[in-house]
Structure 1
Amino acid sequence: MTNLYRYRFGSVVFDQGSFELSVDGGAVEIQRKPLQVLNLLLQNAGKAVPREEFIREVWRGQPTVDNVLANAIAKLRNAIGPAHAQHIESIPRVGYRLSVAIERTAISGSDAGMPKFRPGDHVPQREHFRLERRFGASEANDVWLARHIKTGEERVFKFASAEQHMSSLKREVTLARLLRNALGDRPDFVRIIDWNFSEPPYFVESEYGGVNLAEWAGADGRLAALALQDRLALFLQIAQAVASAHSLAVLHKDLKPTNVLVEPAGAGWQCRLVDFGSGRLLDMARLGVLGITPLGLTVVNGIAFDAARGTLLYTAPELLADEPATVRSDIYALGVLLYQIVVGDLQRGLAVGWERDIDDELLRADIARATDGDPVRRFGSASELAEALAALPKRHEARRAAMAEARQRQIEGEQLLALRRRRPWLYAVIGVLLAGLLTALELYAQLRTAREQTAHELATKSALNKFLIDDFIEAANPALAGRRDVTVAEAARTAAGKVDGTLVQTSPEVRAGIHAALHGVFNKLSDFPSALAEGRKAVAEWARSTAPDVEQRGFVMLTDVYLLAVSGHLDEAEKLLADAEALLKPLKPVPPELQAELLFQHGSIHVERRQFEDAFRDYAQAWAIARQPGFADPVIAGHVEGALSNMNTMLGHHAQAEQLARDLMERQVAIWGADHVRTCFTAFILANTLGYQNRADEGLALADKSIACLTARLGAQSTGVADARVTRATLLAQARRYREAAVAFGEVADLYGAVLGPNSEGRINAIANQAAALRNAGQLTAADVVFGAGLKLGADALGQDHPTMQALKFGAARTRLDMGRTAGVAVLLQGLDADALNESEQAPDWPARLALQRGRLALLSGDRARAAELLGTARALEAGRNDAADAIREIDDWLVKAGAAPRLAAAVGTRS
């Protein structure tokens, strides 16, 4: 018998036997790799575990992605909670250490083993049934066909000999009851009749549903002999059964031929889905509604979870990387099974070159989409896959029509080439304009989804081609512009002025499409006034149209909500948001992408109004929508997840913020690559939250890469680059490199001034941060000058009560007191509010900070009694915090100068 252990520290318990983690008495959902990391830390408690040892022991020397250990540590810290996460110490350039006393209790690690069943044995506790044939056996289960002695009725019994192997049986019973109660008796699921969980051998008893698909297919080459149409019909039964389970939030997690049974049905065959022992339930509320006890399911935050993984051949790549199972991991298994059924060979794996086995191009594309390595690119649901297969004949017809259209586009391309030959100057400017043209086309391509090809769409494409050739590119003609280095922005502005005149004979929706494309161009160029102007024109054209594109009109309006909000026009942004909601309300239902975008823009306005808790709520609701199976737009999902990560950072939830940002980056790298604009934006979001975890060096490396990437793709003068530079400057300050931070914030202030205007909030914030960095660097005179400039600028642009103005006043007062000056300090401190200051910089001790500066002012003004009173208040406020040692030392130094330390010591305690 092998001894395993149950470890405990605080309220955290880890059981090696079941490999399960619980905190505060409740089971915690966490992937296996972070648990293996915890196991290694517990076995070496108090010792430093080198990074190399983690990689060798947990990942067998082959990490799946960069930062794989840091990701696992972040997930582990998040799972055990902030009170316990502090015990996992990062040791720079070495690894990690668990620095906490642990309790260790030995537990039994082995079982008595499965009874040795033989054909002819009576079924334990079911004496009227005798075992007839073994279907299969494993370390955990033994599956037999049994027959009633008198009636000859067949049953299937699945046995487990030990409690630690019983969870899969309980899970199978629970999920089978849910499917039957919700869907009724159906021929595509096997009915569970009874179970025994009271004494060993434990078992589940079910009806006999036929032979498994692998056995059925091999009988006389039955599957290979079927026509392709009949094979697809067989697969559709399986896919539709999976879709029905998914509709109840039930994942199978072990789809394979041996878990599909086949039985004769009339002139054909009936497939049945069996063995939900590895399954997962995503919505526990369904059990409560049906009055079902959740046997065998670990319940965490409303999610039923288990760590079981399916058969390797059918296991999606993300599961091998210890990501949680989703609808799309079941779809991957269906895709592999579809390939095998189509080729008529259930032994064949989906190896390199599999495409050569499939003659049908559309079928080949369906299998490729179902088994894509990136789950985001797979079918959004099993029903979508089934519908695609059922519609194959119609899709073949549509493909023939598309090929005819492609030929027409080729002819148009040849005409464009001839035009270029007549304009040799194009070769000189095409390098300058190429990136901008791609930017323009990218958004426009997104404006029209894969809908029926109508005459309207052909007219739109033709108008777009004409506009790009005759107006956009022509704007860069050296003969007209007078020079060869015309920028994309200049060409776009020139072309924008010609839209309504050039396209006056086209329909309103065509003009709306062109204005929407330009709206996207100017947005990406950070020319917000031009973007807003084009957005308004697009919306106005759609309003005139007899067939307006309501969804795209809504997207443009919502983008303009964001542009107005970040430009400081909050009242106008809120009105436009209300207009967008009214426009979209009649849609039945509102597409989930628009629902998420609406919530995202509500959050954007709350952020600009410094209502961070409200913004967090909006972003969390938007993310709940965006992470659902079938959500079609990874760009919107990325915006939402990035915003939620940022808001977690603002509210001090740093582990959650880091995990969201890392997960988002991994998906973006897989979809668009490491150097895509979206990935680079997420890099500085991640860098920002690392800085707040005292990991500024890691953050700076990410921020530098982000800045280089965004500069190359957006140009040096863009809000994206400015935002990334803010993050870098903040990281320098967090690393106490204050002189460098002051220079960096000064550059950011200049950049925001150029992009958003000299009176923009972004510029004033940067000036405030520059002044604070100068003060921390000891350059008090320079800091005082910069604080003064920020106060003068902010008084007109922001108003005296704005959080940034409050921060400027506090910083200016503190700097003058550092210089030993009292002139004007009382005015600066008057009216400062801890809540408003907290909106500018999240900190728990603003009341104490204010009392400290007021006490310093009283001391420098000669009022020692008042100084002692205020400094004593500051110390008492700081004494209630765990991380206030430095602040208390500073206050005590001032108390000594005020001659009040002995008296105060008796009242509030001496410093430690």
Structure 2
Amino acid sequence: MSESSHLYRWRFGDMQFDEARLELRVSGLAVDVEQKPLQVLAQLLRHAGEVVTKEELFESVWQGRVTVDHVLATAIGKLRKVFGDEGTKIIVTVPRVGYRLAVPVERVAVGRAHASQMDLTPGAKVPGRDHFQLVQQLSPSGSSEVWLAQHNKTGERRVYKFSPDGSRLSSLKREATLFRVLRESLGERNDFVRIIDWNFETAPFFLECEFGGQNLSDWAQTHHALDNMSRDERLAFFVQICDTVSAAHSVGVLHKDLKPGNVLVADEDGSWRTRLTDFGSSRLLEPGRLDELGITSLGLTLTQGIGGDSSSGTPLYLAPELVAGHAPTVQSDVYALGTMLYQILVGDLSRPMAPGWEYDIDDALLREDIARATDGHPVRRLASVSDLTERLLNLAARRKEAERLEASEREAQRAAQELERTRARRPWILASIALLAVALTLSLVQSRHVAAARDEAATRARQAQASTDFLRDVLINADPRTPGVRPDTSIHDALENAAGLLDQRFHEDPDVRIAIMQSLSQIYDGLKDHEASAKLLSEIVEHLETQEGESAPETLRMQYELAQALFAQSDFDQARAVLAKADSNGGLDPEVAGAVVVQANNIHGQLHLHQNDAAAAIPWFERAIELHGAFTPNDHTSGLMLQMDLSQCYSFSGQQDKAVALLDALFEDGALVNEASLSPWIATRARDIYARALVYAGRAEEAEPMLLQLITDLSEFYAPDHSIIAEVRMVLGSSYASQGLSQEAYAQTALAERAFCAQHGDHQMHCLGAKANANWLNTLLGNASDAIAGLREVRNVFVQLVGDQAPASNVLSYYLAVALLQIEETQESGALLDTLHPDLLEKGAPDTVLWDVMVEAIRMKHRILTGDSGTQLLNDFNTAIHTLREGGMKADHLALYAVDGMHNE
């Protein structure tokens, strides 16, 4: 269908339709009709008397987008309802073809000029402002009108926004109120359109504003300014708009209707200056600021209030969550700005961001910025306008860094190929690729240890070269063709040999040497060699304390990493000493440590978790998550890890439902747990912890297939005795145990024990935990005499590390006491029973219930075995056994309380 470029005002019967305003009046009164039906009406009017096919209407009104047939019938129905009883005679259905407007029509061309509903005409005086004459109507604004006026003598121009009757008065009042909030909070600024005066007493009500220039769309068409701007100039122009919006956000004002029509542009001293206008639908995030500033809350009695959450705004710039009915946020304004950034870059302020928009932007970083700003999910969207501004201002540096990273990636691929040719055994390749991925991040390490006066670019270049040199050292020391290198050289051996050359290679450049040592410590941590990692970290901390000072954020960061390495190797006393030092130097103070406070709280929580005191860890992890949201909200991976650790603490402290609810939320929210965007290890870890939480929550049947699938998936990448698979086997063992399948549980746990102890040594925490569980399961299987030595060994280590009143030590004392009583050893078991406390046992093993009854029952069994056969004791003992059975204790566990020659209930 051909379309005339003119717009018309149509009359038919007692109805009038203004095409320019998309406004329908019946008997002189405006009626509320949705946009699509009115667009259908426009097409029927343009072809009055003719049949307009359904296909033509779909093509013109819905632009050919695939939709369902009934939307057209619905639109026709709404029009007929407005037309009343004559509706079916005015719009006639032509079966299986389309529709025809069957009444005489007349039209008047109105072009694109705006029609005044208030009898305001150019040349007339402004009502109540006799010195100002109306020049032209700028635009309608709902039921209000915006006019340009000029002073009769001085020629000064002002803008008046009129409301004829009060239907838009509350919006005018809202705008005046928010302008006062901006001015009182930010001072006089020339990037907000200044409101000079207002009249809210007599009709026509109005706001009197300074003239801020043409709106962005008209300015672009009139001056063709965007066409004459380079991309950098367009970005600088756009950043002006961002700075203004960011300032409004800083005092709690959301605009909610950001679009080119609400950005004004004027020439100031030969350059284009932007101003933001029209806060009539805006929102104040903290209404209490009105009282603080002494501002009367005009406009709140007739609307939802300044904090109203309606989804008002222009559809093209509305964030998806607003369309869905959610409350507006800072991210809603970010979405609108992202759309405008796209339009400004392509030079077309009417172009929508349709699928395929990426092809219009030839710069990968700008594509990323636009995508981050307009992401359909607000969680993934940039957190603030200032984040968008910072990305754009640093575009050149980011581009240079991206080029350098691309070069580093090419070098990494070359090195990986060389290494793969050297060794073909799969575990070696996987570990080596992990090494390369970590080591090649060295060139990203900031020159925090270098004096500010030094050339940072030169330092980074040195670090990049150092990465390559160090990788070559590793490769050479891994190649069996190199003299002195054995054919069975391990990744650990190759690292040790290469690390031995650090002093020689970088003795004149200690800063680069320290940077390499930092990455090397991370590699050792990944290889579970916590002792080697701690040794390197100790040297790094000593260097930083001397060069940077004990309270420098980088020094604090490495102190906390050292503490983590120490407690990972079960050196809890030394770990606590390092933590105390870092805390005293300001590690827990955001003003001193900055983002390091997130790490500090995390490490404190990890320390408690490693000591099996999950309840004490919870507030640390909760605080770490809170600080993460404030300091590093865009680091979704670390945020996920913190929430996974918190969920484990909930599970271990008896809050199983809370743990499962937290993990359910993570897995349902694709923005946070999206396995395609996470490293395989983290994605696997998330699935592992989720299954573990289900086991602790008594839902082992749900967890079991997840765990079996995990083992299958991991076996594609890791050797059968790898520690990651061993961790999953541990959880699977717990799943079987909770179902009373002790034999299956023991088989899985014994495999995990062998893997952990072979890789990490007999006194590492994973090995100890697996050994304790395996021997307890062996006790349940009736092999207490075989389990006692292992349980005693593990308990002694824990008592030495954390004391006999730690939750884990208490659980181990119970296990050992029960096993000893199975062979009727009453002296050692009696001493152990005296140390048991149900509250500590519940903290150490929260998935077990009725600890108080279990402790009392095992103590009564001890008394019976030592000769106490009183009637009351026997009755109490049978009552306890009955309570445990009714409480769901499995038969194999219940059998441990049996006494030979005695019938137990």
| Short-chain TM bin | 0.5 to 0.7
Task: Give how far 1:875 is off.
Answer: 9.9
Residue 686 in 1 paired to residue 690 in 2? yes
Of 351, 373, 377 in structure 2, the residue corresponding to residue 348 of structure 1 is 351
Instruction: Tell me the amino acid that sits aligned with residue 782 of structure 1.
Output: N
Of 136, 154, 161 in structure 2, the residue corresponding to residue 155 of structure 1 is 161
Q: What's the counterpart of residue 765 of structure 1?
A: 769
Q: What's the counterpart of residue 463 of structure 2?
A: 460
Structure 1 residues 824-903: aligned runs within 5 Å: 826-842=830-846, 845-855=850-860, 861-868=868-875
Give yes or no for contact 1:790–1:808 (8 Å, CA) kept in 2. Answer: yes
Secondary structure of the equivalent of 1:689?
helix
Task: Give how far 1:340 is off.
Answer: 0.4
Secondary structure of the equivalent of 2:523?
helix
Secondary structure of the equivalent of 1:798?
helix
Task: Give how far 1:272 is off.
Answer: 0.9
Secondary structure of the equivalent of 1:348?
coil
Change (3 A) 1:809 1:319: farther
Residue 491 in 1 paired to residue 498 in 2? no
Task: Give how far 1:468 is off.
Answer: 1.7
In 2, Cα distance between equivalents of 1:873 and 1:493: 58
Q: What's the counterpart of residue 677 of structure 1?
A: 681
Task: Give how far 1:557 is off.
Answer: 3.2
In 1, Cα distance between equivalents of 2:816 and 2:506: 57
Residue 442 in 1 paired to residue 437 in 2? yes
Change (3 A) 1:308 1:573: farther
Task: Give how far 1:523 is off.
Answer: 0.8
In 2, Cα distance between equivalents of 1:324 and 1:676: 35
Q: What's the counterpart of residue 184 of structure 1?
A: 187
Task: Give how far 1:338 is off.
Answer: 0.9
In 1, Cα distance between equivalents of 2:119 and 2:879: 87
Change (3 A) 1:181 1:624: farther
Stretch deviating more after TM superposition (334-343 or 858-867): 858-867
Instruction: Tell me the amino acid that sits aligned with residue 493 of structure 1.
Output: E
Residue 385 in 1 paired to residue 392 in 2? no
Residue 529 in 1 paired to residue 531 in 2? yes
Residue 337 in 1 paired to residue 364 in 2? no
Higher radius of gyration, 1 or 2? 2
Change (3 A) 1:177 1:868: farther
In 2, Cα distance between equivalents of 1:708 and 1:552: 41
Task: Give how far 1:642 is off.
Answer: 2.4
In 2, Cα distance between equivalents of 1:306 and 1:698: 41
Q: What's the counterpart of residue 790 of structure 2?
A: 789
Secondary structure of the equivalent of 1:683?
helix
Change (3 A) 1:598 1:548: closer
Task: Give how far 1:532 is off.
Answer: 1.7
Residue 538 in 1 paired to residue 540 in 2? yes
TM-score, normalised to structure 2, is 0.67
In 1, Cα distance between equivalents of 2:875 and 2:210: 86
Residue 754 in 1 paired to residue 761 in 2? no
Q: What's the counterpart of residue 623 of structure 1?
A: 625
Structure 1 residues 306-705: aligned runs within 5 Å: 308=311, 313-314=316-317, 327-328=330-331, 330-358=333-361, 366-367=369-370, 370-371=373-374, 381-389=384-392, 395=396, 426-428=421-423, 434-447=429-442, 448-449=444-445, 453-480=456-483, 484=487, 486-500=489-503, 502-503=504-505, 505-542=507-544, 552-581=554-583, 589-590=591-592, 592-628=594-630, 631=633, 633-654=635-656, 656-658=658-660, 660-661=662-663, 666-667=670-671, 670=674, 673=677, 676-705=680-709
Task: Give how far 1:362 is off.
Answer: 6.3
In 1, Cα distance between equivalents of 2:325 and 2:751: 43
Change (3 A) 1:431 1:845: closer
Q: What's the counterpart of residue 108 of structure 1?
A: none
TM-score, normalised to structure 1, is 0.66
Change (3 A) 1:179 1:189: same
Give yes or no for contact 2:586–2:593 (8 Å, CA) kept in 1. Answer: no
Stretch deviating more after TM superposition (526-535 or 231-240): 231-240
| Deviation digits for residues 857-909 of structure 1 (CA, Å, limit 9, x no counterpart) | 55674222245567879999x9xxxx986589999xx99x99999xxxxxxxx
Q: What's the counterpart of residue 247 of structure 2?
A: 244
In 1, Cα distance between equivalents of 2:874 and 2:635: 59
In 1, Cα distance between equivalents of 2:489 and 2:822: 51
Give yes or no for contact 2:567–2:607 (8 Å, CA) kept in 1. Answer: yes
| Deviation digits for residues 219-248 of structure 1 (CA, Å, limit 9, x no counterpart) | 547565553466445422320122113334
Question: Where does the alignment leave 5 or more consecutive residues of structure 1 unmatched?
Answer: 1-116, 122-126, 298-303, 902-912
Change (3 A) 1:720 1:204: farther
| Deviation digits for residues 623-646 of structure 1 (CA, Å, limit 9, x no counterpart) | 112123764644433332322232
Q: Percent of aligned positions with the same letter in both sequences?
A: 26
Q: What's the counterpart of residue 908 of structure 1?
A: none
In 1, Cα distance between equivalents of 2:308 and 2:258: 17
Task: Give how far 1:573 is off.
Answer: 0.8
Instruction: Tell me the amino acid that sits aligned with residue 242 of structure 1.
Output: V
Secondary structure of the equivalent of 2:118?
coil
Q: What's the counterpart of residue 7 of structure 1?
A: none
Give yes or no for contact 1:255–1:330 (8 Å, CA) kept in 2. Answer: yes
| Deviation digits for residues 724-753 of structure 1 (CA, Å, limit 9, x no counterpart) | 333333233344444322222222222332
In 2, Cα distance between equivalents of 1:313 and 1:659: 36
- Counting matched residue pairs gives 747
Q: What's the counterpart of residue 23 of structure 1?
A: none
Task: Give how far 1:721 is off.
Answer: 4.2
In 2, Cα distance between equivalents of 1:420 and 1:832: 54
In 1, Cα distance between equivalents of 2:890 and 2:284: 51
Question: Where does the alignment leave 5 or more consecutive residues of structure 2 unmatched?
Answer: 1-115, 121-126, 153-157, 301-306, 448-454
Q: What's the counterpart of residue 119 of structure 1?
A: 118
Q: What's the counterpart of residue 810 of structure 1?
A: 814
Stretch deviating more after TM superposition (219-228 or 336-345): 219-228
Task: Give how far 1:399 is off.
Answer: 6.0
In 2, Cα distance between equivalents of 1:364 and 1:687: 38
Task: Give how far 1:847 is off.
Answer: 2.8
Q: What's the counterpart of residue 112 of structure 2?
A: none
Secondary structure of the equivalent of 2:756?
helix
In 1, Cα distance between equivalents of 2:690 and 2:334: 31
Give yes or no for contact 1:856–1:867 (8 Å, CA) kept in 2. Answer: no
